Amino acid sequence: MKDVAKVVIIGGGITGCSIAYHLTAMGWKDVILLDKGELTSGATFHAAGLVGQLRS
């Protein structure tokens, strides 16, 4: 693993992975994504992700 990076993203959930993807797509170099376990296996993985309409 590298010792130095311009960008270090902590957390490999949907937000962290999206930020890493978009930064590298824009041409950023030296982007490191750190997660304590497997990518997208934390809270994002367990969320239902349902979108519903609330009526009042």
List pLDDT tens digits, range 2-20. Answer: 788 899 999 888 889 999 9
27-46 core/surface letters (b: 16 or more CB in 10 A; e: else): eeeebebebeeebeebebee
Residue pair 7/31 in contact (Cβ under 8 Å)? The answer is yes
Q: Which residue has the higher pLDDT, 37 or 28?
A: 28
Q: What angle do CA 23, 42, 27 make, to 5 degrees?
A: 5
* pLDDT above 80 for 34: yes
pLDDT at 27: 96
- Percent of the chain exceeding pLDDT 90 equals 39
- As a whole number of angstroms, the distance between CA 5 and CA 38 comes to 21
Q: What is the mean pLDDT of residues 28-44?
A: 83
